Amino acid sequence: MALTLFNTQTRKKELFEPLDAACVGMYVCGPTVYDLAHIGNARPIIVFDVLYRLLRDIYGADSVTYVRNITDVDDKINAAAQASGEPISAITARTTQAFHDDIDELNALPPDVEPRATEHIGEMIDMIETLIASGHAYEAEGHVLFHVPSDDDYGKLSNRDREEMLAGARVEVAPYKRDPADFVLWKPSEEGLPGWDSPWGRGRPGWHIECSAMSRKHLGLTLDIHGGGADLVFPHHENEVAQSECASPGQPFVRTWVHNGFLSVNGEKMSKSLGNFITIRDALDGAPGEVLRLMMLSTHYRHPLDWTEEGVQQARTRLDRLYRVLQNAGEVSETGSDDADSGDPGFDAALHDDLNTPLALSELERQADELSKLDGPDTGRHRRTFLASAGMLGILQQDPKAWFKGADAAEDVSHIEAQIALRLEARNAKDFGTADNIRDALAENGIILEDRPDGTTDWRRTG
């Protein structure tokens, strides 16, 4: 089945064809590690995790290389260190670990390579020297700048005219620039800030050159896929194209550009000043990572996504139903029929059509409906297909009983089961008032008991 993806540069859906099917490469811009990642950062993590899973399914896990970088040298990091008094190394180590912890909760697979900017300074310096030698960059007062007018194709990714680009880039006005649109490749570092020796003095790289150098080091001159949020199209990705292609004339930088849409909160742009800034950790305090993941996948990746509590609750309800079907289908033995691992055509077609995850979720729910009606030898095969489809979306990754019990902490589970035991004692003693009070108290805390004539057989959480 052919995979089509919307290419930002051509502005249309295209058949995806890698340069080498035995070596498919995808680069996605990762976090700048100065603070906790927010839910807007989570969206590309989830989107490109699904694409990574799909590419591995199509071409084989050993044939796909997913690179997602860590930006650990940046003015935002420097500002955070100056504001807090904390060493830069401590900030980047702590926030990188927090990022990993948070996205693990979202069931995101780790990338194959996670390069750090500070480990690729040599590659950046080499690339800058090449740009200077070819007349595309120049040194001025300790800075090295890319000269935008030297690139006739500048603007081809974002499709903006010069005035739009100048406004959108919010470029620094500096007397040493030959052109207002020129952007920094290297800048001097004052004492106390991170810096490396270079032909232009002690300094540090600009943001854009970091990704060009890291992607080139790990995936070569031409990338099959480069991804990120729509906010990166300009200036970050536009500048990556310019410097990468000018450093290697005749070599296209990216074959397919993939960008996810913007995220808002309750219809407004997320902002600390508006009081609607939500970190991934904040969101995880209110719902499991799988719920947050399903909520984001319920909207097509290219469309705007509005984050609401109602949307999160709807995602929880959908996921609860899918887990309930999975639980009712029972356990499946390790052995099965020859077609046990066959895919579902409707589900597969949805994902192959530009990652249409809303349609894929509808197809998954159709599979759930079919599975819930089965009771025989075909149940195991259908359950395996159902789980395989869910796995492509990164959901239904837990044991259903553990999901409904929501085992957040061992002591919490112990308390609930102790209350159930007390209720059983009350019922055996025909103290139905006490038994009902315990049941009602548990229900108020979102714990539903499943009773049968011989007693309480199980329990689950509702929220």
3-state secondary structure of 135: coil
User: How high does pLDDT run on average in the chain?
Assistant: 92
Same domain, 296 and 340: yes
Same domain, 109 and 182: yes
Span 454-458, mean pLDDT? 64
Same domain, 284 and 356: yes
3-state secondary structure of 387: helix
How far, in whole angstroms, is CA 368 from its chain's centroid?
26
- Max distance between CA atoms of the chain, in angstroms, equals 91
Residues above pLDDT 70, as percent of the chain: 92
Same domain, 397 and 428: no
Residue 463: CB atoms within 10 Å: 12
**Number of structural domains found in the chain:** 3
Same domain, 209 and 311: no
Confidence at 412, pLDDT banded by 50, 70, 90: low
Domain membership flag for residue 60: yes
Dihedral sign for Cα 216, 217, 223, 228, please: negative
Q: Give the sheet arrangement for strand 254-260, strand by strand.
A: 64-68, 24-28, 223-229, 254-260
Domain membership flag for residue 251: yes
- Which string of b and e fits 54-78 if b means at least 16 CB within 10 Å? bbbbbbeeeebbbbbbbbbbbeebb
Give the domain range for residue 301. Answer: 272-401
| Helix locations, 275-308, DSSP H | 280-286, 289-297
Same domain, 384 and 429: no
Confidence at 375, pLDDT banded by 50, 70, 90: confident
**pLDDT value of position 336:** 44
Same domain, 210 and 336: no
Q: Model confidence over 120-169: pLDDT tens digits?
A: 999 999 999 999 999 999 999 999 999 999 999 999 999 988 777 777 66
Same domain, 237 and 317: no
**pLDDT greater than 50 at residue 410:** no
What CA–CA distance (Å, rounded) separates 55 from 71? 25
Same domain, 85 and 149: yes
Domain membership flag for residue 10: no
- Answer whether 95's CB lies under 8 Å from 101's CB: no
**pLDDT value of position 415:** 74
Same domain, 231 and 299: no
Task: Retrieve residue 402's tokens.
Answer: 């553990």
**pLDDT value of position 409:** 44
**pLDDT value of position 457:** 53
3-state secondary structure of 21: coil
**pLDDT greater than 90 at residue 179:** yes
Least confident of 51-60, 242-251, 336-345, 410-419: 336-345
Identify which has the larger pLDDT, 335 or 219.
Answer: 219
**pLDDT value of position 334:** 38
**pLDDT value of position 1:** 87
**CA-closest candidate to residue 138, choices 154, 150, 120, 126:** 150
* CATH code at position 387: 1.10.730.10
Domain membership flag for residue 224: yes
Same domain, 200 and 63: yes
Q: Model confidence over 257-290: pLDDT tens digits?
A: 999 999 999 999 999 888 999 999 999 999 999 9
- Answer whether 348's CB lies under 8 Å from 1's CB: yes
3-state secondary structure of 196: strand
**pLDDT value of position 462:** 63
**pLDDT value of position 428:** 87
Domain membership flag for residue 11: no
Domain membership flag for residue 333: yes
Contacts of 62 (CB under 8 A, 6+ apart): none
Confidence at 88, pLDDT banded by 50, 70, 90: very high
Span 182-199, mean pLDDT? 96
Question: Structure pTM?
Answer: 0.89
Long-range pairs of 368-372 with CB within 8 A, sequence gap ≥ 24:
368/321, 368/322, 368/325, 371/325, 371/329, 372/325, 372/328, 372/329
Q: Model confidence over 306-355: pLDDT tens digits?
A: 999 999 999 999 999 999 999 988 754 334 444 445 689 999 999 999 99
